[in-house]
Amino acid sequence: MTVKCFKLATQSLAVLLSGMATPGFAENALYGAPVTVEQARQAAQAAATEMRHRNLAMTIAVVDSGSNLVYLERANQAGIGTVEAAIGKARTANGTKSPTKGVEDAILNGNRINLLGVPGILPIEGGVPLIVDNRIIGAIGASGGPSTDDGAVANAGAKALLP
C-alpha cells in the first residue's frame, strides 16, 4: 500500500473513530514502553469481568507495542478458534493504532476494500489499543461473542489502564 493510501485510510479511520468511547484513534500517537505483565493482567481482568457480566465464554489477548503476545486468557468454554482471533484483533489494533471496529467500518462503509490486502489485518470488532500517557503500549483483543460484545469486552480492558 502506498504512503498516500495509508494516510487516506488513517484519516478515514480518524473521522470514523472520533466519537468512540475508547482512548480513540491515535494516528499520531507514539509507541511507548511495552505493556508490562502487570498492566496486561489488569486490562485482561477488567475485560474478563465484562465478559462474565455478559455471560460469555471468550478469549482475551494482550500484545505489547511490538505486537508480541504478553498475556492470554481463555474461558473454559471458549471456542478453540477464538485464541488466534483474539491475538489477531490485538495485533491489528496495535499495528493500525486504532480499534478494529474502525478498520471494519472503513472497509464496509468507507469503501476501503484495499485494507483487506494489508498483511496481518483482522478487521473485526474486538481489538483496542492500550494507551497510557498518550503512548500506545500495546493492545487488547477479545473474541468469542457477537462482534459488539467482543468490542465492549476489549474496551473495558483498555479503559482499565486509563487514569
- Overall number of domains in the chain: 1
CATH code of residue 45: 3.30.450.150
What number is the average pLDDT over the span 68-86?
97
Q: What is the 3-state secondary structure (H, E, C) of the chain?
A: CCHHHHHHHHHHHHHHHCCCCCCCCCCCCEECCCCCHHHHHHHHHHHHHHHHHCCCCCEEEEEECCCCEEEEEECCCCCCCHHHHHHHHHHHHHHHCCCHHHHHHHHHCCCCHHHHHCCCCCCCCCEEEEEECCEEEEEEEEECCCHHHHHHHHHHHHHCCCC
pTM of the model: 0.83
pLDDT at site 17? 37
pLDDT digits (tens, 9 = 90+) for 32-53: 999 999 999 999 999 999 999 9
What residues make up the domain containing 83? 3-159
Q: pLDDT grade, residue 16 (50/70/90)?
A: very low
What pLDDT band is residue 29 in, cutting at 50, 70 and 90? confident
